[in-house]
Structure 1
Amino acid sequence: MKSILTHPGGAHKDDFLACSLMIARYGCEVIRREPSESDLEDCEVAVLDVGGEHDPEKMNFDHHQFDRDHPPTCALSLVLQFMGLYEDARQYCDWLETSEWLDTRGAVKTAQWLEVDRSAMAKLNSPIDITLLRRFAAQERHCTGEPVYEVMRMIGEDMIAFIEGMRERMLEIEAQSEVWELEPGFSALFLRRTEPLPAEPSAGLGRYIEMKQLGCVAMVYPDRRGEGYGLTRFNDDLRLDFTKISEWEDVHFAHKAGFVAKTTATDAERLQEMLVAAWCSDVSKS
C-alpha cells in the first residue's frame, strides 16, 4: 500500500477511524485531497470516504453513492468489512451502530433512533474528539512519526486488538463456563479457574450473557487477587444484595452497595449457597 487517501476539509469520526484502521494495517501516509481517476484505479492507494465508489478489490471505500434507504453504512463500516471484522465489531463495539447513524443520517435522526433529545448528542462530545478531528483536518498529509499519525496508529491497533480479542474471549468463556440454575428461580454464570488466569477474569462475561441470551442475574468468576471467587450481579440487578453475606467467615469483602463480594470459597455448592443467601425475592430488579 502506497498511501491512504481521504477527503479534504472537515473531518469526522467515520473517516478518522477508517484511516486509523488502515494505518494500523499498512503503515503508509495519509493524504487528504480529492481522488483522481488514477487514484481510484490504483489498488495500492486506499481511497476512503470519497470517490463515489465501493470496490474493495481496488481499495475504494466510499458510501456516499448508496441510496438514501440503504442501511446506515459509512466508510468505517466498509473498511471493517474488508478486514473481516465487521460482524464482530457490531457485536462488541456498542458505539459503532451509533457512529454509522450519525454519519449517514445526521444528529436529528440519530437522536430519534436512540430515543433521546437532540441536545443529548452534543453533550456526548469531548475535547478528545474535537482536538483529534481538528488536528487531523488541519494537515494535507500525515506521516509516520508525527503525533496525530501515531495516535491514529494506536487507535487502529487497539480497535483491531479489542475486536479480535473479544472474539477469542467469547470462545474461552464458552469453553470454561456453565450456567447454574438456582432454587429461588434465578440463574448465574460460573466461570471456572484456568491457569494462567486472564488479566481480568470477569472481562466479557456480561457480553457473553447478552450474546447468548442466558437470562443470568449473577456472575461468579475467579478472583485475580486470590484463590477464591468474585460474585457480582449482572446489569446491577437489585434482587441480589451481597451485604447479606458480608459477615460470613469465608467472605472477605462485600461492597456496601451490595453489588459485589469476594470469597475464599472455591467449592461450587458453597458459592451457590452464597448466591441463594444474597437473593432478595421481594425486591424489584431495577
Structure 2
Amino acid sequence: MTPITSLLTHPGGAHKDEFLACSVLLALHPVPVIRREPTPADLADIATCVIDVGHSHDPARNNFDHHQLPKDHPPTCSLSLVLQHLGLYQDARQFCEWLEPAEWFDCRGPNDTARWLGIGRDTLAKLNSPIDITLLRRFAQTTRLEPGQPLWEMMRMIGEDLLTYVKSLRARLDVLAQTAVLWDLALPDGPAKILFLPRTDPLPDDPSQGLDRFIESRGLGATVIATVCPDRRSTGYGLSRHQDNPRLDFTRIAREADVHFAHARGFVAKTSATDIARLQQLLLRAGTPA
C-alpha cells in the first residue's frame, strides 16, 4: 500500500469540514498539510490525499471532495466522505450529534440549516465558540503545516480524540449488548423497565459509559426509567434516573442502612447492596409515593 505523504486542501477561508477531515487523517497519517489548489498530478497521486477541493470523490486515489455532488444530494461534506472511507460514518452520525448540522451548514448554508433545525439564523451565531473561530482563522492563515507546529499538533489531537471516542463507544455498546439486563418492575404507579449492568472484572473506569446511548439505540428511551450500574468507588451500585424520570425519587431511600448517598434532588443514589433482590427492593421503595 502506497503511504500517504501529504494532505492537500484548498487555500483561503477555512471551514469546519475540511479542518476536521484533515484532523482525522492526521491521526492516521502524521504528514504535512498543504493548502493550495490541486493539480491533475495531485489528484492522480495516491500518496497525496486531496480534501474538500478538486471536484473528485475517488477514495481509491485518496480524493475526498463533495462540491461536484448535485445540489439535491443529501448534505455530505468532506468529513463525511473521509469517515465513510474509514468505515466509521454510521457510528459517527449516531454518536456525534454535531455531525449532521455540520454537514447541513457546509452544504446548505446558514439559512437552510437554521430552518432545518427549527431555529432562527441569529441563534446559530450565538452558538459560535471562540475555540472554533480561532482554530479556523489560524488554519486559514497557513499555507503549510508541519509536525511539531502547535496547530498541526492540535489538529492531530482533535482527530485522535474523535476516532477514539467513536471506536471506544462502539466497543462499549457491543459489551453492553452482551452484559446488560432489562428488569421489569411493578411500581405503585404501573410497570417500569430498569436497565441493570452487572459488575465485571475488570471493571471499566467509567461503568456507566454508553448506557444512555445503548438505551436509545435499542429503542428503549421511552420505557426505561432508571439504570443500575456498578459504583466505581465501591463494591456496590449506583441507582440513576434515566433522563431524570420523575417516577423515582431516591430521597425516599436516603435513610436505608445500605444507602450511603442520595442526592437531595432525588435523581441518583449509591448503595452498598449487591443482591439483585435488594437492589430491586430499593427501586420499588424509591417509587413509592411519599
TM-score range, shorter chain: over 0.9
Q: 1 CA distance for matches of 2:116 and 2:285? A: 41
Within the candidate set 214, 221, 225, 1:217 is matched to: 225
2:6 aligned partner? 3
Residues 203-253 of structure 1 deviation map (CA, whole Å, 9 limit, x = unaligned): 100000000112311010000000000010111112221111111111100
Same amino acid, percent of matched pairs = 56
1:140 aligned partner? 143
CA contact (8 A) 1:250 1:264 kept: yes
Q: Which moved more, 1:224-233 or 1:86-95?
A: 86-95
Within the candidate set 28, 31, 34, 1:25 is matched to: 28
Q: 1 CA distance for matches of 2:228 and 2:72? A: 44
Give the C-alpha shift of residue 128 in structure 1. Answer: 0.7
Residues 130-176 of structure 1 deviation map (CA, whole Å, 9 limit, x = unaligned): 11111111110011000000000001111111111011000111111
Which 5+ residue runs of structure 2 have no aligned equivalent?
none
2:131 aligned partner? 128
Which 5+ residue runs of structure 1 have no aligned equivalent?
none
Q: How does 1:52-71 map to 2 (within 5 A)?
A: 52-71=55-74
- Coordinate RMSD, CA, aligned: 1.2
2:212 aligned partner? 206
CA contact (8 A) 1:54 1:63 kept: yes
Specify the SS of the correspondent of 1:183.
strand
CA contact (8 A) 1:239 1:281 kept: no
Q: Which runs of 4+ in 1 moved over 6 A?
A: none
Specify the SS of the correspondent of 1:201.
coil
2:198 aligned partner? 192
Q: TM-score, normalised by structure 2?
A: 0.95
Q: 1 CA distance for matches of 2:288 and 2:256? A: 17
Specify the SS of the correspondent of 2:175.
helix
Q: TM-score, normalised by structure 1?
A: 0.96
Q: Which amino acid aligns with 1:33?
A: R
Q: 1 CA distance for matches of 2:40 and 2:279? A: 66
Q: Which amino acid aligns with 1:143?
A: E
Specify the SS of the correspondent of 1:63.
coil
Q: How does 1:1-286 map to 2 (within 5 A)?
A: 1-184=4-187, 185-214=191-220, 215-279=223-287
Q: 2 CA distance for matches of 1:269 and 1:166? A: 30
How many residue pairs align between the two structures? Answer: 282
Q: 2 CA distance for matches of 1:31 and 1:256? A: 55
Give the C-alpha shift of residue 117 in structure 1. Answer: 2.1
Give the C-alpha shift of residue 263 in structure 1. Answer: 0.4
